[in-house]
Structure 1
Amino acid sequence: MKKLLLYVKKYKKEFILAVICIQVETIFELVIPLIMADIIDVGVATGDKHYILVKGFQMVAFALVSLILGHACAKYTARAGSGIGAEIRKAEFQKMQSYSFANTDRFSTPSLVTRLTSDITAIQNSITNGLRPGFRSPVMMITAMVVSFRINPKLALVFFLAAPTLAVILFFIIKNVRPLYGKMQGAMDMVNRIIQENLTAIRVVKAYVRGDHEIEKFQEVNDSLQSSSERSFSLASLNMPAMQYVMYGTILSILWFGGNMVILGNMKVGALTSFLSYVLQVLNSLMMFSNVFLLFTRSLTSWKRISEVLDEMPAINDDRATDRVIEKGTIRFDHVYFKYKDTAKEYVLSDISFQIEPGQTIGIIGQTGAAKSTLVQLIPRLYEATEGNIYIDDHPIYEYTQDHLRDSIAMVLQKNTLFSGTVRENLYWGKEDATDEELERAVNISCVSEFLDRLEHGYDTELGQGGVNVSGGQKQRICIARAILREPKIMILDDSTSALDTATEAKIKEGLEKELPGMTKIMISQRISSIMHAEQIIILDDGRINGIGTHDQLLEENEIYQDIYYSQQKGGIQAV
């Protein structure tokens, strides 16, 4: 809760003004029943019309002031609630940006989306809808009870029966509804997961005519969310009828005993009317306060989920970093081991050792699941090596800051990612202040220039979400151009030319060698034709290095390389 108060601090002014408006509004509303009692007991009893008009005007004036204060309270509360929600959302998003792949693996993407949206909305709603009754109800309840005891102490003893009854009911409801709120948010995570998977893979779903299957999957998780929501809200909704039951029982008791007092002359009608007004205020305050508790209970559940994201310590940090700068691009793996979880029994990568000199082109090949992508993701510290060290320019990579390290290493991932916006805006991800000449150079090397003129607006063509209006090969070339624009010391191409024909791929490799000769290049590929001209080829097999050498050496000595080469020859993939 201390962390939550840090986000409230920025909107302290709005928070305080809202509370002041609430308290003053409450005071004016509490005075109105006293005026009403005077009108009945003095004005009506004596037939003094002037007195009735004066007191009536006071009631109207106080009611108008209460209305104005209520409006001001709603305005400041909305500002505070929305602002605090925005601050938490910003902090959570910033925290997520500091995560390594290991951190994001702990949370599923749909769960992070829910924690960033639905959970924060729950907290925002608890502030917006709970601030007024939360501060108004206690003041109104205590003041009304004090005035009630002053009007008639004997009749006010009914509170000692009503209040404990309401407290027991509220405790029972909150105790049982809190775990249900957690299950409901978990069910919402699952709904978001199915929606995200379906929308991301909509083309596959339609290609395989699996729409009905996806509907069934969605129906299952949707029913689970519906069921958990029904249980949560059904239990929470018991609050209102229980409160009303106690309230009407209390009113009937007061009317019975208070009526007898009026008949016996121990109490005036105006006093009983005023007393009833205060009783209603006390009971309504209790009812509103109980609703605040329910809102608070749900927001606590959401805050717990948000805190898990905010408290998650990044698996990779810059504690040992210095101001060291990458100058050459030498890479050395020294007996590196890696596994995704410390509790895993087996390593994904085992005893990896090799060295790459500056400006060299290195190929990595191996069967599916050989951990090729995992290997190169260790270089920019997207994952941290479990054992052993990786050196760049003969310094451990942890001595470089993550920002500098990743800025010096351009990765074109196996899964091509383009963002909503124009071609130009996507290229600027490589270098924000790139000149037109630098853009031209990058698109020429990556062969983007071959199709750029055919796009409707050239550089300013909108790509849509994920680049839906360009082909797979065009996506790959744009991603390569984006990496080239950075002019990195090290470039990693993770099977990022798989959708290109061999002629285009050869042009890109030739352009990289000619235009960026000092850049260290690592190319992962399933095709031997893509890496056969590399100065070194590394063969991975089940997370281990099976062989290192040139194309000719491996073709003569290595069985795995021979099997891949001859199978691709038979399959029609010619090594050129």
Structure 2
Amino acid sequence: MKAIKHLMQYIKPYIWITILAPLLMVIEVFMDLLQPTIMQFIIDEGIAKNDMSIVISYAIIMIVLAIIGLGGGLGCIYFSSKVGVHVATDLRKDLYEVMSYFSTKKRDEVGTGKLITIMTSDVEMIQRALMMLLRIFVRGPLMFIGAVIIVWFTARELFNILLVIVPILMILIITFTIYSGKIFRKVQQSVDRVNEMLSENLAGIRVIKAFHRMKEQMDKFLQINKKLTKLNQNANMVMGFLNPLTMWIVNLGIVAALWIGVIQVEIGAIQIGVILAFVNYLNLIIGGLMMSVMVLMQVARAVPSLDRVYEMFNIEGEERHQKQDLHDIKGDVTFENVSFSYNENGENIVDQLNFHVNAGETVGIIGMTGTGKSTLLKLIPRLYDVSKGKIKIDGKDIQSFTLESLRKQIAFAPQKALLFAGSIASNLKFGSPNAVKEDMHHALDQANAMEFVEKYDDQVEHELSFGAKNLSGGQKQRLAMARAFIKDAKILILDDTTSAVDTISEKIIKNHLINDFKEQTLFIVSSKIATIQHADQIILMDDGRIHGIGTHDELLATNEEYREIYLLQQQSGGVLDAE
């Protein structure tokens, strides 16, 4: 019920055409209901009495009524389509906005596959059901009720036939509708799984090919696809079984009508035209019921979709409104006993972190894979919220700030350099929407990306493909860093952003970080000590905890684990000149 009320909010802006569409359908139905009665007059008054003037007159009336009905039907189709399409468009727009504000944790819980299914298949299902409701669900019941009333007044001798077959048909319709609704809910869940695996495999296709696991992944996909196929077959079997069963009952009604009708004609109780009109009205009654069945089936499919859409609107997203805006910060950052877990009862990814960073300092973070380095950084812009403890900027808890104002003060270059299809300039403007070419060139120079961008004829207007697949890994990382640099934020976070960058470019970038970002607070995650050995503080992470903190020289002198990493990297040539 709440989901339906929520949908009504989207129908409300189009309420007048929503009302107009079924009214036009009423006109079409009324015209259709008159046709069998007119045909009865043609047979009993015209043909039976050999009066062609009556036949012609009523034939002209039938044509006029058909044209009026056609106009009503076309008008209903136009306006119902307009309502359905616009409601679906508004739903997708708001869903996109709502999903954009999902916390990273909640988005991970829901799953990409389900989100895609909801945005596409579920919204389309709602659109289709809404259009059918405005068209056919008005037509079906009106046709049924109107035909029953007319039969009562024009062929009462045959009315008992309806009292037998109509209840039987209605019981069948209700039973099949309830059963099909359960099946279609399972179908949507199976579509989610197909989308999830498809999305995952397309994203990891290079890994699949590199390990030559195409056949194994295909087998997994076939298993999921078979389940979807079976559910769809079951749903179609329900529909397929209902139609012939309904027609069998209808044909029994027609046979009964002819049998009883002939007897009534022989005794002079009714005329032949009444029997033919009754058969036509019986078909209209059954047609009305079947139309209602079609709509109910569609509604049965749409109800799970509507519930899933409503569920998305009720998921608690990231806070859009808090008490304070964050402005003109210095960049002082404090972690106070901070812990984080992806699940309420799960193991902490980072545990009891305590450290302080003065404004303008550079912090290097190093440690083995899976020690919580990237998670630590994601807590600062609240991509994830801490499970325990507090993170403070300039002495104030970041939970008290609006997300928008908090993230305006932070520039973030993630571990995976995600770029969007479009020009290099449009990607850089993610960091600074009002950036001009001079700003872009400066940021590209700092990330040593101008080195390859200037080789393009159109330079910053050069188009990137989907996922920037026309760039190398190192080029993508450098553009991602330039996007962060151009923001000129007080807090700059670089999450292992030079892992795919060549040694010369890394050294150039490092020099720019030392010389150009003295006013910013820098957080740099790296697997190489050489990248962070100039930092004011270096944090050594292990198993989600801090196992050492200090300058490069202090850690070399006091921390055995750090010293071992340094010596190993020095032996393998992984330590750059610190200058």
TM-score range, shorter chain: over 0.9
Partner of 2:442: 441
Q: What is the match of residue 138 of structure 2?
A: 135
Superposed, 1:192-211 pairs within 5 Å as 192-211=195-214
Amino acid at match of 1:339: S
What is the one-letter code of the residue matched to 1:180? I
CA distance in 2, matches of 1:438, 1:336: 37
Give deviations 1:129-157, integer Å, cap 9, x for gaps.
34311011111111110110112323112
SS in 1 for 2:468: coil
Are residues 1:572 and 2:573 paired?
yes
Q: Which residue of 2 aligns with 1:250?
A: 253
Cα separation, 1, equivalents of 2:474 and 2:158: 84
| Distance change in 2, residues 1:442/1:575 (3 Å) | closer
Residue number in structure 2 paired with 1:80: 83
Name 2:527's counterpart in structure 1. Answer: 526
Normalised TM-score (structure 1): 0.97
Residue identity over aligned pairs, in percent, reads 34
Q: Give the C-alpha shift of residue 432 in structure 1.
A: 1.2
Equivalent position amino acid for 1:403 in 2: E
Q: Post-superposition shift, 1:561?
A: 1.0
Change (3 A) 1:363 1:499: same
What does residue range 327-346 of structure 1 map to in structure 2 within 5 Å? 327-344=329-346, 346=347
8 A contact 1:366–1:540 mirrored in 2:
yes
Residue 166 of structure 2 is aligned to residue 163 of structure 1:
yes
Shift of 1:69: 1.6
Question: Alignment partner of 1:238: what SS?
Answer: helix
Instruction: Summarize the alignment of residues 170-569 of structure 1 with structure 2, pairs less than 5 Å apart.
Output: 170-314=173-317, 316-318=318-320, 320-344=322-346, 346-569=347-570
Instruction: Say if 2:338 and 2:389, in contact at 8 Å, map to a contact too.
Output: yes
Pair 1:123 & 2:126 matched? yes
Give, in whole Å, the separation in 2 of the partners of 1:456 and 1:77: 50
**Deviation readout 1:511-535 (Å, 9 max, x if unpaired):** 2332332111000011111111111
Q: Cα deviation per residue 1:242-283 (whole Å; 9 max; x = unaligned)?
A: 221221111111111111111221111112211222111111
Matched residue type, 2:254: I
Task: Look up the equivalent residue of 1:538 and give its one-letter code.
Answer: I
Mapped to 1, the partners of 2:164 and 2:556 lie a distance apart of 92
- Report the alpha carbon displacement of residue 115 of structure 1 after superposing the two structures with TM: 0.8
The residue that corresponds to 1:99 in the other structure is 102
Asked if the contact 1:326/1:393 (under 8 Å) is kept, the reply is no
For 1:384, give the aligned amino acid: D
Runs of 5+ in structure 2 lacking a partner?
none
* Matched letter for residue 572 of structure 1: G
Q: Which amino acid in the other structure matches residue 519 of structure 2? A: G
Letter in structure 2 aligned against 1:196 = S
- How far 1:456 sits from its partner (Å)? 4.5
**Separation in 1 of the partners of 2:350 and 2:208?**
34
What code does the residue aligned with 1:166 have? L
CA deviation profile, 1:25-57 (whole Å, cap 9, x unmatched):
111111111211111111223222212111110
- Cα offset, 1:319, TM superposition: 5.3
Q: CA deviation at 1:491?
A: 0.5
Find the aligned partners of 2:249 and 2:500 in 1 and give their Cα distance.
72
Residue by residue over 1:311-367, the C-alpha shift from the partner in whole angstroms, topping out at 9 and shown as x without a partner, is 1111x42554313414211100111111112132x3222111111111111000111
Equivalent pairs, count: 574
Asked whether the equivalents of residues 338 and 347 of structure 1 are also in contact (C-alpha less than 8 Å), the reply is: yes
Contact 1:130–1:295 at 8 Å: present in 2 too? no
The CA deviation at 1:476 is 0.7
Match of 2:11 among 8, 11, 16: 8
> C-alpha distance in 2, partners of 1:64/1:247?
29
* Alpha-carbon distance, 1:2 to partner: 0.2
Residue 428 of structure 2 contacts residue 486 of structure 2 at CA under 8 Å; is this kept in 1? yes
Supply the RMSD in Å over aligned alpha carbons: 1.4
Q: Give the superposition deviation at 1:219.
A: 1.5
Q: Distance in 2 between matches of 1:575 and 1:434?
A: 33
* Paired amino acid for 1:466: G
What is the alpha-carbon distance in structure 2 between the residues aligned to residue 536 and residue 153 of structure 1? 96
Distance 1:176 1:318 in 2: 41
Shift of 1:560: 2.0
Task: Give distance in 1, aligned partners of 2:38 and 2:26.
Answer: 19
State which drifts further: 449-458 or 2-11.
449-458
Q: Distance in 2 between matches of 1:130 and 1:399?
A: 47
Distance 1:572 1:237 in 2: 71
Displacement of 1:172 after TM fit? Answer: 2.2
**Greater Cα shift, 149-158 or 109-118:** 149-158
Deviation at 1:575, TM superposition (A): 4.3
Q: Secondary structure at the match of 1:41?
A: helix
Q: Distance between the aligned counterparts of 1:437 and 1:128, measured in 2?
A: 52
Q: Report the AA paired with residue 388 of structure 2.
A: E
CA distance in 1, matches of 2:168, 2:456: 73
Q: Equivalent residue of 1:321, what SS?
A: coil
What is the correspondence of 1:25-40 to structure 2 with a 5 Å cutoff?
25-40=28-43
Shift of 1:10: 2.1
CA contact (8 A) 1:364 1:539 kept: yes
Letter in 2 for 1:190: R
Instruction: Extract unaligned runs of 5+ from structure 1.
Output: none
Distance 1:561 1:108 in 2: 38
Letter in 1 for 2:518: P
**Equivalent residues of 2:26, 2:142 under 8 A apart:** yes
Q: Distance in 2 between matches of 1:184 and 1:467?
A: 35
**1:67 shift after superposition:** 1.4
TM-score by length of 2: 0.96
Q: Work out the CA distance in 2 between the residues paired with 1:321 and 1:391.
A: 16
Q: Is the 8 A contact 2:320 2:404 kept in 1?
A: no
Alpha-carbon distance in structure 1 between the residues aligned to 2:563 and 2:27: 86
Letter in 2 for 1:210: R
For residues 183 and 563 of structure 2, the distance between their equivalents in structure 1, rounded to whole angstroms, comes to: 59
In structure 2, give the amino acid aligned to 1:474: Q
Distance 2:320 2:218 in 1: 46
Q: Which amino acid aligns with 1:506?
A: K
Contact (CA 8 Å) 1:364, 1:522: kept in 2 or not? yes
Given that 2:507 and 2:576 are in contact with CA atoms closer than 8 Å, whether structure 1 keeps it comes out as no
**8 Å CA contact retained: 2:177, 2:293:** no
**In structure 2, what is the Cα distance between the partners aligned to 1:58 and 1:152?**
22
One-letter identity of the residue aligned with 1:402 = L
Task: Please tell me the residue identity of whatever aligns with 1:70.
Answer: G
Pick from 131, 137, 153 the counterpart of residue 156 of structure 2: 153
Q: Distance in 2 between matches of 1:318 and 1:110?
A: 25
Q: Following the alignment from structure 2 to structure 1, what is the Cα–Cα distance between the partners of residues 375 and 212?
A: 33
CA distance in 1, matches of 2:94, 2:384: 23
CA contact 2:421–2:465 (8 Å) conserved in 1: yes
> Does the 8 A contact of 2:422 with 2:463 survive in 1?
yes
Distance 1:283 1:306, change over 3 A: same
SS of equivalent to 1:335: strand
Distance (whole Å) between structure 2 residues aligned to residue 264 and residue 563 of structure 1: 112
